[in-house]
Amino acid sequence: MERDELGDGEEGEEEEYDYEALKEAGKASYAALAYGKGLIKPGASMLEIAESVEAHILGMGMEMAFPVNISVNGNAAHYTPSFDDASVIPENGIVKLDVGARKGRYLGDCALTVDLSGSHSGLVDAAQAALEAAIGMVRAGRQVCEIGAEIAKVAAGHGVVPIRNLGGHGVERHDLHASVFIPNFDNGDTTELEEGQVIAIEPFVTDGEGYVREGETVEIFQKVGRAAVRSGETRAVAAFIDENYLTYPFAARWLHRSMKGVSEFAIRKAIIELAGAEALEPFPVLAERRNGMVAQAEKEMIVEKDSCTIVTQ
């Protein structure tokens, strides 16, 4: 990976936004999502799926925007397997696959849901229909609360509810969750979309309460600062993160796979120390508060004057 100090050019200059690079990242993300969908079968290893999709992204000449998320049933987001994860796709699972490729500073992000049970197709249909309806509303000047209201309306029409403390987001160079929040209900936010802005619309719907809580499992982290640490092994892990992942989210298993000769215990200890010093931000698994089933659909797009251009397709 290139060493990049995350600047936008020389001091006083602003680099022109490279929409072609963004579209390449989006196209690769969508291709990886389609590839991963074909791997989701009852009994399939979640670790093998995640690593196969990640290898697929790297094989297209891209980097990872974030670790592959495979969230099952009531888990809505942020589940990525550990290095020795023995979990498999359950026989009747409802599986969310969330994938992102990166080209330089430009990030792709897209997601879908697979219903293996045959009994939650209405939930999956609701997420997809809400996404399509929301995309149809996107244009410069559109208030984000209007998009949220449409998502909630479509969800209600399918007999389910949106998850109110999750939503879509702006996407900027280096920053996957930036600039604007796209709610899944009318939250009263009158922020207007701007022409040329990049956003991801991400309806989450559930037959549960409509809120997520943080779980105990944490396998995804992101560098957010520096910390003075005493342990040599922790300093080595921090330096490796700096050199290889910059400020992009990474999976703990990536460290185990790449840092040969460093024990899993030492890696976990370093992560705990760095997170405790607020040098790393943890991303716990997010689960529906009343254990309701969750479906997700997501696409990334460029806001245009009167519509939008989908980049994850």
Q: Which residues are catalytic?
A: 98, 109, 169, 177, 202, 298
Q: How far is the C-alpha of 61 from the C-alpha of 32, rounded, in Å?
A: 12
Backbone angles phi, psi at 151, to 5 degrees: -60, -45
Q: How far is the C-alpha of 125 from the C-alpha of 36, rounded, in Å?
A: 19
Radius of gyration of the chain (CA): 19
SS3 4: coil
15: nearest Cα among 7, 27, 26: 7
Q: How far is the C-alpha of 46 from the C-alpha of 69, rounded, in Å?
A: 10
Q: ∠ CA(209), CA(88), CA(109), 5° rounding?
A: 60
Is residue 239 within 8 Å of 97, Cβ to Cβ? no
Q: How far is the C-alpha of 303 from the C-alpha of 289, rounded, in Å?
A: 33
Q: Which secondary structure element, helix H or strand E, spans residue 153, and what is its range?
A: helix 144-157
